[in-house]
Amino acid sequence: MGKENILLIANNKKAYHDYFIEEKYECGIVLYGTEIKSIRQGKVSIKEAYVSVDHGEAFVEGMNISPYEKGNIFNRDPLRKRKLLLHKAEITKLAGAVQVKGYTLIPLQVYLKGGRCKIEVGLARGKKLYDKREDLRRKELNRESERDYKVRMK
């Protein structure tokens, strides 16, 4: 198998700060008209987006794809619901996991893989305030230890 070209378009850094990511799933997305052209230009935001499961289908909501400036009547609503392409077994597994208290589905990345737009969706559990403080403390300690190591190496 050859290596496929992956081009990162959008990343949701806030998700890693606010949630513990339990599992990750790669899924396709149904796009219409000139939406893929806007995505290729990098005009997409997933900061406020989330994934919902309705009637056995997964949808991403709140994902903003800016209208293509050279498009005309083919431009769609930037904040519309977009269907995600997942296997039926994955959708039922995710729907069952979301029913458990504290779990949610959030998009982590939007990228182009082999010419197709993909979204990485994470099954996430919300962090408490003390968990966020612990992560910040751990990052600060790692930063200081790397700084000390770099000083010793010179």
Q: At CA 31, angle to CA 27 and CA 33, rounded to 5? A: 165
| Domains of the chain: total | 1
Q: Would you say residue 138 lies in a domain?
A: no
Q: Would you say residue 28 lies in a domain?
A: yes
Domain of 110: which CATH number?
Answer: 2.40.280.10
The model's confidence at residue 154, banded by pLDDT at 50, 70 and 90, is low
pLDDT digits 0-9 by tens, 72-121: 776 777 788 999 999 999 999 999 988 887 789 999 999 999 889 999 99
Residue-level pLDDT at 74: 65
d(CA 67, CA 82): 15
d(CA 60, CA 104): 12
When pLDDT is averaged across residues 43-62 and rounded to a whole number, the result is: 92
Contact criterion met (CB below 8 Å) for 86 and 64: no
Q: Would you say residue 154 lies in a domain?
A: no
Q: Would you say residue 152 lies in a domain?
A: no
Give yes or no for residue 70 having a pLDDT over 90.
no
Q: Would you say residue 60 lies in a domain?
A: yes
Q: Would you say residue 1 lies in a domain?
A: no
Residue ranges of alpha helices (H) inside 12-128 are: 13-18, 35-40, 88-99
A 10 A CB-CB count for 67 gives 18
The model's confidence at residue 144, banded by pLDDT at 50, 70 and 90, is confident
pLDDT digits 0-9 by tens, 8-42: 999 998 888 888 899 999 999 999 888 888 899 88
Residue-level pLDDT at 11: 92
Q: Would you say residue 11 lies in a domain?
A: yes
The model's confidence at residue 153, banded by pLDDT at 50, 70 and 90, is low
Q: Would you say residue 133 lies in a domain?
A: no
Domain encompassing residue 55: 6-127
